[in-house]
A and B are shown apart, each in its own frame.
Chain A
């Protein structure tokens, strides 16, 4: 199975900050990676697909990059609504695996 490792596990930041979360895959997954935002008690929300494509309706402050085994999610200017947990997901083939998550906290 393909393993995904996110870093950091927890990130403390302030409104207006630029933050980056990294996701590393245990093997080459080409560009087949998505990023999700999850708030307590809610289902995950798709932010980025195919490593760098912004899902419809998602603010342009979110961006994704990467290819192969290393990927990043960047939030260019944190807004109060952005404090949540973030997960990466690989979808090469029919199976799916997720990273362990990054909790973005207010500093």
Chain B
């Protein structure tokens, strides 16, 4: 069965970076793009960016352009999101999600806390 398993919760100081992983299983990794999406408590879902897992092409939301890098390792069936220059506003839950007419499978979420 399709699964996306994300890395565990992270705590970072303001200005630091965080790298979250998303390991896929149950399907051919390179046939579906992976999106990264975040959600603050009680807030709407916010799209961060996308990677074509086959070609490695990426696209980012303008809001995060220059501050985020999404990569993938096809040998490990894993996608990564690296977010830099963290502020308190980045304290939230981050999801990876598989692309298919929307997003049909989601990771369990990774909580990132930014605190001095």
Contacts and interface: CB of A to CB of B under 8 A. Distances in A.
Nearest to B101: A49
Interface of A: 1, 34, 36, 43-46, 49-50, 53, 55, 87, 89, 91, 94-101
B47 A96 contact: yes
A43 B107 contact: yes
Given A95-B47, A98-B47, A89 B102 contact: yes
Nearest to B37: A96
Given A34-B103, A43-B109, A100-B44, 14 more contacts: A34-B101, A43-B106, A46-B102, A49-B101, A53-B101, A87-B44, A89-B103, A95-B47, A96-B37, A96-B50, A97-B47, A98-B44, A98-B45, A101-B44
Contacts of A36: 102
